[in-house]
Amino acid sequence: MFKNAEEHGIVHFVRVLEPALAQKYADEVLALSHLWITQIQYFNTFGAVTYLEAFNEKGVLPYSQLGPYHAHKALMNPVFKRHFSQLYEQLCASLSKHLNTPCQLIDDLGYPGFHIYGATKFEGQMDQQFIDSFVGDSWSHLHVDIQYLPHQPAWDQFSEVELLNPMSFTLSLELPESGSALRHWHSIESPVEAQAFNYTTLDERAKLIGDAKLAKYEPGVLTYFIGHLIHQIPAANPLLATDRRITLQGHGIKCDGVWRLYF
């Protein structure tokens, strides 16, 4: 039975690229590693990242403090346009067809960017001591995506804005040997409760979930969901020294009948 493409809490799969072309874009990301930002060991980001640059441990930063994010966006968007314009065209075309709704980048915000976990181009592999000391089964905490919150000035330029229906998506380009996936639970319908979820303790978050579902990633396949879906990134198991996970990440808000995509 066909699943509503905009129903909350459902993970959808859309083929965007053939695997060989996905790897070509992954190699391009690696070639531009001098523009990455190392967040923690073996986790790098590429692009202006809302959840890291427009939030702090207490929540959303006021717009007056978003200067560094917008400066980073101004530097990276032209780079992305030069190196990945065809990738964005393929992304928007595939997603628009699936949703039966136009999708396009929003220039006022950072274009969809990249997560890079694991071995970098120059190191070639992760340190075995790091792998042996890796704790847990996830590369991220339980969370919901509320990246639209700091960007109200961008949404204010439109007449109709659907902030109650945010989209998040991942396009896998290169994956670990044992694969990768999205671990997810239920969707929190209230934006207020969704925001509160992210700022409770990890133990409290764990009490609010039941059994997890797993959406398996494939190179060249986009996964997306709409709503405040509780999710995290499970670690590769087993984790190999040569493993690498490169994904194009982004979010969308429907404004005046068009999905506006950003990071």
The predicted pLDDT at position 40 comes to 87
Ordered domains of the chain (ranges, CATH): 12-262 (2.60.120)
How many Å apart are CA 53 and CA 61, to the nearest integer?
Answer: 9
In single-letter form, the type of residue at position 168 comes to: S
The predicted pLDDT at position 75 comes to 98
Q: Specify whether the CB–CB gap between 10 and 185 falls below 8 A.
A: no
Q: What is the pLDDT of residues 225-256, one digit of tens each?
A: 999 999 998 887 888 888 999 999 999 999 99
- Arithmetic mean of pLDDT, 14-30: 97
* For the chain, the helix, strand and coil percentages under 3-state DSSP, each to the nearest 5: 30, 30, 40
- Arithmetic mean of pLDDT, 35-57: 94
The predicted pLDDT at position 2 comes to 45
Give the chain's mean pLDDT: 92
In single-letter form, the type of residue at position 241 comes to: A
How many Å apart are CA 233 and CA 249, to the nearest integer?
Answer: 13
- At 58, the pLDDT band (50, 70, 90 cuts) reads confident
pTM reported for the whole predicted model: 0.93
In single-letter form, the type of residue at position 173 comes to: L
Q: What is the pLDDT of residues 118-167, one digit of tens each?
A: 887 766 788 888 888 776 677 778 899 999 999 999 999 999 999 999 99
The predicted pLDDT at position 154 comes to 97
